[in-house]
Amino acid sequence: MGSHAIESTREQRYQCQIPYRRHDSTRYRHGTVNDHATGNDGQPDSTLPHSGEPDEQYTGSGLIVEKAKRLAKIDATRAAGTEPYPYRFDRSHTLAEIRDEHAALAPGTELSDRVDVAGRVMLLRDSGKLIFATLRDRGGDIQLFVSKAVIGDAGFGAVQNLDLGDWVGVSGTVMTTRKGELSVKVDNLQLLSKAIRPLPDKWHGLTDTDTRFRQRYADLIVNAEARRTFEIRHAIIASFRRTLHETGFIEVETPVLHVEAGGAHARPFVTHHNALDMQMFLRIALELHLKRLIVAGMERVFEIGRVFRNEGISTRHNPEFTMMELYQAFADHTEMIDITERLITAAALDSTGTSVVTIFGPQEHTETVDLALPWRRARMIDLVHDAIGQDVHPSQSVEHLRGVASAHGVSCAPRWGPGKIIEELFEATVEHTLIAPTFVTGHPVEISPLARTDRYDPFLTERFELFIGGREYANGYSELNDPVEQRVRFQDEQTAKDAGDDEATGVDEDYLRALEYGMPPTGGLGIGMDRVAMLIAGVHSIKEVILFPTLRHEVL
RNA sequence: GCCCCUCUAGCUCAAUGGUUAGAGCACCGGACUUUUAAUCCGUUGGUUCUGGGUUCGAGCCCCAGGGGGGGCACCA
């Protein structure tokens, strides 16, 4: 069924390529996104050939025509005996290496150092017998200085035929221009890959958010801000790994396909395994498998992995996102608080060189926060007390707490107990005020089915959540390791599930069996990596830190 | 699911309800051996997201639908 659907989509794409099919039905095979918008523009066929001289046989512009012109250049290149898509190119330097080695050359310098570099042509400046090009590789840009007298007539013609977006490999010497621009004086140029589709505006880049997210490849080519954001994201993840390895954690991989979607409150994606004829769920958390490994004796484990929640999409939510979870034997929640602070502060320093981040509040309001300053710790019930001037505690009656809640505009579902009502009060009255990093601790037992009861207060747990700028970033606790109590908590969840709470989890019998072998005292932590990336990169939307965010299916 | 905004050339953007929807970049042709978004000259390029409607006349107003964005709800 699936492959049939793909085939028919391809067929529809090809039918958008009428000008090409008519002249060359075998070579062109690239389905395109926006072609339907231009489609067959009704021009006579003679304007759209795909062979011979590109200059005379057709005129006009628009995407279809421009691609035809570039395809004609490919044919001409092949006809001249050159492969427009060669297999490899051996470069001697990256562009950053050339910049590092020749950081302070005086204007007008000509070195004899030979270099072979490769990249994409981003700009072209043709001044007759001299052409300047801006070449870009992953690490930066450098100017190509192409003189007709140096490269020869044939080579110069090939450079004149280049289009923005083409990949080239060049050989030459290092020089600076009269104005001091570091350049490669090209004596040989080889096309490495011909671009058929024109780049977005060379100055403005791409601004249309739809196109930026759907065609991230184009976004990254032309928008330096997008490249910077993802460099930061990946530096953050690398920083986390380094900190954790230095602290004695080992990285593991656990199943994405779960029989029981536990470890969080969320609606899962449901799927089916054919050979086993079994319903399965995409994981909503990493927690329960990692704690099985603590039972196994691995002591310190972490996983950075994708989790999936079948819920709404917003500036802070993507259906698939990246969690880091870690578990440490013999530790409790206080050590998890410490490592949370270390991980995030180090990640900011490692990825941006500063621990100062900008918080975007409502109505364009921004303020800065220095993550290097000590982070506040406060109990949830104390914060609510400070906000409403009234004591709240999960030992109080549901009726009393419902009254308090409604007095503060919080409406309660019938099945909510005291703990859930207190959490809702917290979210309504406190959460948005927590701008500087704050560890909120002591969550009620009712809303923390996997956390250990507070050693001094049986109604609370040894749990914390980290809030910065009113948003949640991390969640951790002293892990519940008593299999008898865990079964009771699971049964409460099952009761809620049976009562219609489709985010509640059921009883995970295998997890209980693992606990029965004995789990040492353990601290656990989960951090939402996408949100940390948003915080440190200073962007407003989670789509800015996910390379390919979830979008509605594009109708072609 | 609800509300608001938005959609014009490959890209970035214009266009009181009133000629044949314009400009820059890109593309094509021409000039130029030190440019830096090169510059200069000349071309070309449009299903104004789709479908209806109002009107003598719709890119613009109305209705329905679609994509995207923002907000609300949901979301440990």
Query: A67 CA to B20 C1', in Å?
Result: 28
Domain count, chain A: 3
Protein residue minimizing CA–C1' distance to B44: A60
| Tokens standing for residue A96 | 């950053």
Protein residue minimizing CA–C1' distance to B40: A127
pLDDT at A31 over 70: no
Query: A234 CA to B68 C1', in Å?
Result: 27
- Nucleotides of chain B in contact with protein CB (under 7 A) are 1, 8-13, 24-29, 31-39, 43-47, 66-76
Nearest in space to A516 (alpha carbons), one of A546, A482, A485, A490: A482
Query: A210 CA to B50 C1', in Å?
Result: 18
pLDDT at A43 over 60: no
Top-confidence range, A66-80, A250-264, A335-349: A335-349
Neighbours of A403 (CB within 10 A): 11
Compute chain A's Rg from CA coordinates: 30
Whether A19 is in a domain gets the answer yes
Does A354 lie in the same domain as A456? yes
DSSP label of A283: -
Q: Distance from first CA to last CA of chain A, Å, rounded?
A: 19
pLDDT interval class at A362 (50, 70, 90):
low
Query: A59 CA to B20 C1', in Å?
Result: 21
C-alpha span between A536 and A512 (Å, rounded): 38
Query: A132 CA to B12 C1', in Å?
Result: 24
Does A102 lie in the same domain as A74? no
pLDDT interval class at A37 (50, 70, 90):
very low
Mean pLDDT across A424-431: 92
Protein residue minimizing CA–C1' distance to B71: A314
Mean pLDDT across A391-418: 91
Protein residue minimizing CA–C1' distance to B72: A314
Mean pLDDT across A46-62: 40
Query: A556 CA to B49 C1', in Å?
Result: 12
pLDDT at A555: 64
Does A464 lie in the same domain as A317? yes
pLDDT tens for A120-172 read 999 999 999 999 999 999 999 999 999 999 999 999 999 999 999 999 999 99
Mean pLDDT across A362-376: 83
Nearest nt to A176, CA vs C1'? Answer: B34
Nearest in space to A339 (alpha carbons), one of A330, A350, A327: A327
Query: A38 CA to B47 C1', in Å?
Result: 8
Whether A404 is in a domain gets the answer no
Does A443 lie in the same domain as A298? yes
pLDDT at A298: 97
Nearest nt to A312, CA vs C1'? Answer: B74
pLDDT at A34: 35
CATH number, domain containing residue A177? 2.40.50.140
Nearest nt to A175, CA vs C1'? Answer: B34
pLDDT interval class at A19 (50, 70, 90):
very low
Protein residue minimizing CA–C1' distance to B37: A203
pLDDT at A12: 33
Whether A415 is in a domain gets the answer no
Query: A40 CA to B62 C1', in Å?
Result: 32
pLDDT interval class at A30 (50, 70, 90):
very low
Give the domain extent around A148: 95-193
Whether A213 is in a domain gets the answer no
Nearest in space to A355 (alpha carbons), one of A366, A337, A343: A343
pLDDT at A32: 30
Nearest nt to A61, CA vs C1'? Answer: B45
| Tokens standing for residue A54 | 């590109």
Query: A422 CA to B58 C1', in Å?
Result: 57
Protein residue minimizing CA–C1' distance to B29: A55
Query: A209 CA to B4 C1', in Å?
Result: 18
Q: Is A77 helix (H, G, I), strand (E, B) or coil?
A: helix
pLDDT interval class at A556 (50, 70, 90):
low
Query: A210 CA to B53 C1', in Å?
Result: 30
C-alpha span between A221 and A84 (Å, rounded): 21
DSSP label of A554: P
Nearest nt to A141, CA vs C1'? Answer: B36
Asked if A235 and A298 count as a contact pair (C-beta separation under 8 A), the reply is no
Nearest nt to A53, CA vs C1'? Answer: B28
Query: A200 CA to B12 C1', in Å?
Result: 9
pLDDT at A552 over 90: no
Asked if A443 and A465 count as a contact pair (C-beta separation under 8 A), the reply is yes
pLDDT tens for A172-207 read 999 999 999 999 999 999 999 999 999 999 988 898
> Mean pLDDT score of chain A, rounded to an integer?
86
Does A68 lie in the same domain as A152? no
Choose the final residue of a domain: A193, A211, A242.
A193
ipTM: 0.90
Whether A357 is in a domain gets the answer yes
Does A34 lie in the same domain as A148? no
Protein residue minimizing CA–C1' distance to B75: A311
Nearest nt to A185, CA vs C1'? Answer: B34
pLDDT interval class at A364 (50, 70, 90):
low
Q: Is A267 helix (H, G, I), strand (E, B) or coil?
A: coil
Neighbours of A373 (CB within 10 A): 12
C-alpha span between A211 and A189 (Å, rounded): 33
Strand partners, A366: A360
pLDDT at A29: 25
pLDDT at A292: 97
pLDDT interval class at A505 (50, 70, 90):
confident
| Tokens standing for residue A476 | 């951790």
Exposed, middle or buried by CB within 10 Å (0-12, 13-18, 19+), for A285? buried
Does A248 lie in the same domain as A170? no
Higher pLDDT, A160 or A361: A160
Phi-psi region of A205 (alpha: psi -120 to 50; beta: other; left: phi over 0): left
Protein residue minimizing CA–C1' distance to B30: A128
Give chain A's length: 556
Mean pLDDT across A322-335: 97
Protein residue minimizing CA–C1' distance to B7: A208
pLDDT at A9: 33
Whether A322 is in a domain gets the answer yes
Does A458 lie in the same domain as A328? yes
Nearest nt to A60, CA vs C1'? Answer: B44
Nearest nt to A443, CA vs C1'? Answer: B76
Q: What are phi and psi of A25, to 5 degrees?
A: -85, -5
Nearest in space to A301 (alpha carbons), one of A328, A319, A283, A276: A328
Mean pLDDT across A433-439: 92
User: Which whole-number Å values give the CA distances from A342 to A150, A244, A377, A434, in the listed order?
Assistant: 56, 10, 15, 19
Asked if A257 and A309 count as a contact pair (C-beta separation under 8 A), the reply is no
Q: Is A242 helix (H, G, I), strand (E, B) or coil?
A: helix
Helices A224-246 and A529-537 pack at an angle, to 10 degrees, of: 120
Does A154 lie in the same domain as A294? no
User: Which whole-number Å values give the CA distances from A370 to A231, A316, A346, A355, A447, in the listed order?
Assistant: 21, 22, 12, 6, 31
Nearest nt to A134, CA vs C1'? Answer: B36
Query: A449 CA to B1 C1', in Å?
Result: 30
Does A71 lie in the same domain as A125? no
pLDDT at A361: 66
Whether A223 is in a domain gets the answer no
pLDDT at A198: 92
Does A365 lie in the same domain as A471? yes
Mean pLDDT across A526-549: 93
Exposed, middle or buried by CB within 10 Å (0-12, 13-18, 19+), for A1? exposed
pLDDT at A504: 80
Query: A54 CA to B71 C1', in Å?
Result: 51
Choose the final residue of a domain: A79, A111, A140.
A79
Mean pLDDT across A14-31: 28
CATH number, domain containing residue A294? 3.30.930.10
Does A299 lie in the same domain as A150? no
pLDDT at A52 over 60: no
Choose the final residue of a domain: A23, A54, A79.
A79
| Tokens standing for residue A336 | 């998890």
Mean pLDDT across A87-95: 97
pLDDT at A462 over 80: yes
pLDDT at A236 over 50: yes
Nearest nt to A448, CA vs C1'? Answer: B76
Query: A113 CA to B59 C1', in Å?
Result: 58
Higher pLDDT, A3 or A311: A311
Lowest mean pLDDT among A243-257, A290-304, A400-414: A400-414
Nearest nt to A214, CA vs C1'? Answer: B68
Lowest mean pLDDT among A23-27, A274-278, A547-551: A23-27
Q: Output the DSSP codes for A82-144.
A: --SS-S----S--HHHHHHHTTTPPTT-EEEEEEEEEEEEEEEEE-SSEEEEEEEETTEEEEE
Asked if A205 and A222 count as a contact pair (C-beta separation under 8 A), the reply is yes
